[in-house]
Amino acid sequence: MSVEPITAADIAAARQRIRGEVLRTPTMPSPSLSERAGQPIHLKMEQRQITGSFKLRGATNAILSLSDDERGRGVVGVSTGNHGRGLAHAASRAGVRAIICMSALVPENKVAAIRDLGAEVRIVGKSQDDAQEEVERLVGEEGMTMIPPFDHPAVIAGQGTLGLEMLEDVPDLAEVLVPLSGGGLIAGIALAIKAQRPQVRVTGISMERGAAMAVSLEAGRPTLTPERPTLADSLGGGIGLDNRHTFAMVRDLVDAVVTLDEGEIAEGIRHGYWREQEVVEGGGAVGMAALIAGKVRPGGPTVVLVSGRNIDMKLHHRLISSEDVDLEEAAA
C-alpha cells in the first residue's frame, strides 16, 4: 500500500487549525548551557504547554481533522502518558469520547492526570505493544478511531508546528536537539525546518534503555526492542513493525542520534531545576543532558526542545536532592 507523504504544507495547515487551542510556548536563552557549549543555546519551553508536554499539538490537530462520523464514534489511543493527556484534553474540548490504553509501566501520576481530564483509562499488560492490542480490539469491535502517539500524518504535522516556531524565534539557527522516541516529534520538526533551512542540523536524543528508533535505524528496519524502566519513561515504547511514516522520515531527515545513560538523564533533570528553575521530566531533559554530558557539541546557535514536565514529583524531589535512583533495580 502506498503512503502519502507528509508535506510542509500539512504543517502550515496544522498551525492554523490548532491556533487558539495550544500555547505558543516561549524560546528562552540559557546562559549556563551557552557558557558550557561555547555557542548560543536556547530552550524551547514546551514543558509549559497546557497539558505539560508537546503531545497536545499533534493530538489537537488529529482531533480537529476528524469527520463528524469519526467524532461520533469516539477515539482511542495507546500512550506512555503524555499523548494520552493531550488526546484526553483535545477530545474533551471537542466533545469527543476518548479511551486511553496504557501499560503497567506508565507512572501513576500520568494515569491519574488522564482520568482527571475525563478520558477512560485501560491498563493492559507490561508494554505499549500489549496496550496496542486493546486499541485494535476497540477499533475492530466498537468502530472507534485510533489516534496513535506518533505514526500518524495529522499527529506528525501538529508536532511539526514546533519547528516553525523555532525558526521564527532563532533566525540564525544552526542545530536543534529533539527528544526521540517513536519519531513523530522529530519527524515533524525536521520536515518543518529543513523545508526552509536544509542546512540546519537535527539531532535526536534518546535513552540507552529501550531506544527503539535508534535500534531500528541501526538495523535498517523497524525492530522490536524490549522496554526497560527508565527516567525517560515518556520515550519508551516501540515504533511498530508496520511503521508507515516516522521510521523513513527520521532515517531521511535526522542528521544524528545520541543515547544517554540513566545518570546523564538525571543530571539533565537536576540542571533543569537548579539552573533553569524549571520542573522537567526525564524525556524532556535529554537535550540538556546531552549537552552537559558532552555528547553533542553544537557548531552554532542551537535550540534544545524541553518537551515535557510531567514527572512524579516525589521522584523529582529525590533526583534534585542528588539521590541515586535506578528504576530498573527498584522494579526488580
Residues 58, 284: Cα–Cα separation, whole Å: 17
Kindly state the helix (H) or strand (E) to which residue 179 belongs, with its residue range: strand 175-179
Residues 183, 50: Cα–Cα separation, whole Å: 22
* Cα diameter, the chain: 56
Residue whose C-alpha is closest to residue 80's, from 119, 145, 131 = 131
Catalytic position from the list 53, 103, 216, 307: 307
Residues 74, 68: Cα–Cα separation, whole Å: 10
As given in the structure block, the three cell numbers for residue 294 are 558532552
Residues 227, 102: Cα–Cα separation, whole Å: 13
Q: Cell 523497524 maps to which residue?
A: 222
Kindly list the distances between the CA atom of residue 40 and the CA atoms of 222, 257, 272, 294, in Å, as whole numbers in the listed order: 35, 21, 17, 15
Q: Is the dihedral of CA 25, 268, 233, 213 positive or negative?
A: positive
Residue whose C-alpha is closest to residue 106's, from 82, 76, 87, 129 = 82
Kindly list the distances between the CA atom of residue 203 and the CA atoms of 88, 257, 295, 312, 328, in Å, as whole numbers in the listed order: 30, 6, 11, 27, 27
Catalytic position from the list 44, 53, 55, 103: 55
| Active-site annotation holds for 314 | no
| Active-site annotation holds for 55 | yes
Q: Which residues contact 135 (CB under 8 A, 6 or more apart)?
A: 76, 77, 78, 101, 146
List residues with catalytic annotation: 55, 307
